[in-house]
Amino acid sequence: MNEALRKALAAFLAEMKKPADQRDAKALETSTSALEAAMKSASPDPSLAVEVLAKIDQLRKDLDAEVEAQRERERKGILKVGASGLPILDGKGRPRMRFSHPDLSRDMFHLAKAIYAARTGGPVDKVLIPGGGQGEGYVIPDTMSSEIERMVETVGVVSGMAGPVPLGPGSNPFARALAGARAYWKAAGAEAEESAPSFGNYSMSAETLIAILDTAIEFEEDAQISIGDYIATEFAYALGDARDDAAVNGDGSADYGGITGLLNSTYVTVETMEAADDAFTDLDTMDKLSDMESAVWDGALTGASWLMHRSIKALLKKIKDTGGMPIWQPAVGGEPSQLMGYSHAVSGKMPAASETAASTKFLLFGDFRRGLKIGRRGAYRLDFSPIPGFKNLTNCWRAFERIDMAVVGFTAAEIAAHPRLGNPIAVLRTGAGA
C-alpha cells in the first residue's frame, strides 16, 4: 500500500470511528473523496478497485440515510441521542424530550433555579415575569413555552396527524359540502336544470387541557438531572397522551373534553369483517385491507396512511399475498416501511391485539389531515406558582392549552343520499360472531 493510499484510508477510518451524531459531514466527504481518488490511482488490480469503490459508494448511501434520519430526529427535537445512536430514556422508560438548542435547556434550568432562590429569600432573576402580582406566580417566557408545545405535538402521534384549524371565541361552525354544481348534457331546446349547493356542518369550541406538576423544592435543588428537560418531558407526554386518547377513543363526554374520537365517530366509514371473523387474528388476508382502501374517498388516497397499535402491526406483517409474498414492505434505505404502498403510524391508544373482541374497531386508514381537525385558540402556556405548596415548599408547574378536535366526513345516510361523497378515513371492525 503506497503512502497516499495509507493516509487516505487512515483519515477515512478515523472519521468513521466517531459516533454518527458527532461526525463532521464536510470532513467525512473530504476523506471519502480522497480515498476514492487514492484507490483509483494506487490499486494494481482493477477488479479490486471496482469492488472497494462499490463498497465505499454503498457506505456513502448508508451514511446519507443515517444523516437524514438524524436530521429528522433533530427536526422533531424529541430525543437526546447518545454516542450509541440510541435515545436516552427517562425514569419511566420513555425517550427523553429535549429543547431544540442547549442554550434553551440551560435557560430553563437557570429559570427554575432563580424561582427556587426567590422562594427561599434569594434574588429574583430578571428574566422572570411576575404573573398576577409579586410572589403569586410567574409566567414562563414564550420561547420556552413554544418549545414544549413543539414537544407535545411530536409526542401526540394521532393529534399530530390532524389538520390545524384556528379557533375564535365561543363556538366555531364549519361547513361540510354535501352537494354543489352539477354539469350534464342538455338536449336541444330543453330547459336547463338548476342545481343548488347543500351543506352540513360541524362546530368546534376551545376546551382547556391542563396538566399540573407539583415538585418539592428539595428535589428540585438537589436533583442531578436537568430540571428543564425533566419538566419538558413530563408535560410533553402528559398533554400528548391526553390529546391522542381523545383523538382515538373520545366518546363526546367531559372526560374527553367533549371530543368524539375516530373509533366512535359516525363520520368514518366502517368496514366489517365476515361474521365468523370475530377476532383480530382473523384478519389473515389482504381482502379487507383492499376494501378499506376502496372505501376511502379517491382524493384522500394521496395522503393516506394506516394507524394501528404496534401489536396489530405485528399481525399485519404476517399477511401474504396470493403469491406467498408478505404485503408488508420493510424499510429500505431512507424509505419508511409500507403496507400496500402506504405509510403507517403506531399509537398505544389504538386497540391492542390482546383486546380482541367481536364487533370491535381496531384499524384505521385514510388521510388524517383531511379527516381529523385540531383547533387551537391562543398559545400553549406554561407557568409557575409557589402558592399551592406554601406550607411544605412544594412548587406548582402548570401547562395548559385551549384546543378542540373534530372528525370530519359524512354519515352513512349522507353518503347514501349523495353517492359521489366519500369519507377520508375508514375503520375496520371484527365480525359479530356466531
Task: Tell me how far apart the alpha carbons of residues 174 and 272 are, in angstroms, rounded to a whole number.
Answer: 30
**What's the whole-model pTM score?**
0.70
Which amino acid makes up residue 198? Answer: S
CA 252, 255, 260: angle at the middle one, nearest 5? 20
Q: Under DSSP, is residue 331 helix (H, G, I), strand (E, B) or coil? A: coil
Q: What is the pLDDT of residues 103-114, one digit of tens each?
A: 776 677 666 666
Which residues neighbour 93 within 8 Å (Cβ) at sequence distance 6 or greater? none
The CATH number of the domain covering residues in 77-175+201-434: 3.90.1690
Listed residue (193, 192, 197) closest to 181, CA to CA = 197
Listed residue (139, 412, 78, 130) closest to 87, CA to CA = 78
Q: Where are the alpha helices (DSSP H) in 77-127?
A: 102-119
- Kindly report the length of the chain: 434
Q: Where are the alpha helices (DSSP H) in 308-431?
A: 310-316, 368-371, 412-417
Name the pairing type of β-strands 372-389 and 138-139.
antiparallel
Contact 363, 345 (CB under 8 A): no
Residue appearing with cell numbers 451514511: 63
Per-residue pLDDT of the chain (434 residues; tens, 9 = 90+): 567 777 777 777 777 666 555 566 667 677 777 777 777 676 555 665 566 666 666 666 666 665 555 555 555 544 444 444 556 666 666 777 777 666 776 677 666 666 666 555 555 444 444 444 444 455 566 666 777 777 787 788 898 889 988 888 888 888 777 666 677 777 888 887 776 666 677 889 989 898 887 766 555 555 545 666 777 788 888 888 999 999 999 999 999 999 999 999 999 999 999 999 999 999 998 999 999 999 999 889 999 999 999 999 999 988 888 777 888 887 665 556 788 889 899 999 999 999 999 999 999 999 999 999 999 888 777 777 666 555 565 667 788 888 999 999 988 888 888 878 889 999 999 998 86
Cα separation values, 355 from 164, 274, 279, Å: 31, 19, 9
